[in-house]
């Protein structure tokens, strides 16, 4: 699905990311962990062609993301509030995103009614501008929009941040369901190790832009990661 070959992002003498090779298979739930500055967001921005790589190439379905926009038709993403149009209300924003995917109001309502309690009607029908919402509700709007249009790939940067416990639990259930039932390829970064190990079937640990570990979680993973980050 997503293939990385010799990808490097460098700012003057600082190497922000350096991944010689990596393959993310279709239907995989891929978790990215690491401290601040490890290169997680840089990696996602390179996959979404929001940054130009210093070297290397990233392909999606064997097509370079920097040379074609074909991948945008089947890729949903939410990295930060900059993805939102904050002067629109949630309902206006969803109507706009839905229009881009050929969805009508009924299609949008049907989608949100199947989001396992993550999308409350009071939010997605809210008339208030997005800029007035709490950080948690802004994140919800962005995540919900990323799931519109039946994407084959969904990329979420820190999706659990700012969410209350109930919403975190709903989101975990939702992500596991769309991964197992719809075979959506999920790429998730998080500082919350427990959430990543619970949701993802593959975890990559980055440090200073380098892949330190690439593994499938086991019952001992949390203990191992806690030992690594407290060394």
Q: What is the pLDDT of residues 105-124, one digit of tens each?
A: 888 888 888 776 787 777 77
Are the beta carbons of 27 and 179 closer than 8 angstroms?
Answer: yes
Q: Is the pLDDT confidence value at 55 over 70?
A: yes
Q: What's the whole-model pTM score? A: 0.94
- pLDDT, residue 231, reads 79
Q: What is the pLDDT of residues 144-186, one digit of tens each?
A: 999 998 899 999 999 999 999 999 999 999 999 999 888 999 9
- The share of the chain scoring above pLDDT 90, in percent, equals 78
Average pLDDT over residues 173-202: 93
Those residues whose C-beta lies under 8 Å from the C-beta of residue 189, and which sit 6 or more positions away, are: 31, 32, 33, 40, 41, 44, 156, 157, 158
Query: What does R_g of the chain's alpha carbons equal in angstroms?
Result: 18
- pLDDT, residue 35, reads 93
The overall average pLDDT reported for the chain is 92
Alpha helices in the chain (DSSP H): 40-47, 90-100, 105-112, 121-124, 135-146, 165-181, 193-199, 221-229
- The share of the chain scoring above pLDDT 70, in percent, equals 99
Cα–Cα distance measured from residue 154 to residue 74, given in angstroms and rounded to the nearest whole number: 9
- pLDDT, residue 124, reads 72
Cα–Cα distance measured from residue 3 to residue 59, given in angstroms and rounded to the nearest whole number: 5
Alpha helices in 22-131 (DSSP H): 40-47, 90-100, 105-112, 121-124
Residue ranges per structural domain of the chain: 2-229
- pLDDT, residue 44, reads 97
Q: Using 50, 70 and 90 to split pLDDT, how confident is the model at 195?
A: very high
Q: Is the pLDDT confidence value at 70 over 80?
A: yes
- The CATH homologous superfamily to which domain 2-229 belongs is P-loop containing nucleotide triphosphate hydrolases (3.40.50.300)
* Angle between helices 135-146 and 165-181 in degrees, nearest 10: 10
Average pLDDT over residues 130-146: 94
């Amino acid at each position: 699905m997503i293939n990385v070959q010799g990808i490097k992002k460098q700012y003057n003498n600082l190497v922000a990311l350096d991944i010689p090779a990596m393959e993310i298979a279709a239907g995989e739930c891929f978790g990215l962990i690491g401290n601040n500055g490890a290169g997680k967001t840089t990696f996602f921005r390179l996959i979404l062609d929001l940054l130009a790589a210093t070297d290397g190439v990233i392909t999606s379905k064997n097509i370079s993301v920097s040379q074609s926009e074909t991948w945008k038709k089947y890729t949903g993403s939410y990295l930060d509030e900059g993805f939102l149009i904050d002067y629109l209300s949630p309902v206006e924003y969803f109507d706009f995103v839905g229009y881009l995917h050929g969805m009508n109001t009924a299609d949008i309502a049907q989608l949100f009614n199947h989001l396992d309690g993550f999308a409350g009607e009071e939010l997605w029908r809210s008339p208030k501008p997005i800029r007035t919402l709490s950080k948690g509700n802004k994140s919800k709007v962005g995540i919900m929009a990323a799931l519109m249009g039946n994407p084959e790939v969904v990329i979420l940067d820190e999706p659990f941040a700012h969410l209350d416990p109930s919403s975190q639990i709903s989101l975990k259930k939702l992500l596991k369901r769309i991964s197992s039932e719809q075979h959506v390829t999920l790429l998730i970064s998080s500082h919350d190790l427990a959430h990543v190990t619970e949701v993802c079937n593959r975890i990559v640990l980055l440090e200073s832009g380098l892949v330190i570990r690439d593994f499938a979680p086991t019952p001992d993973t949390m203990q191992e990661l806690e030992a690594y980050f407290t060394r």
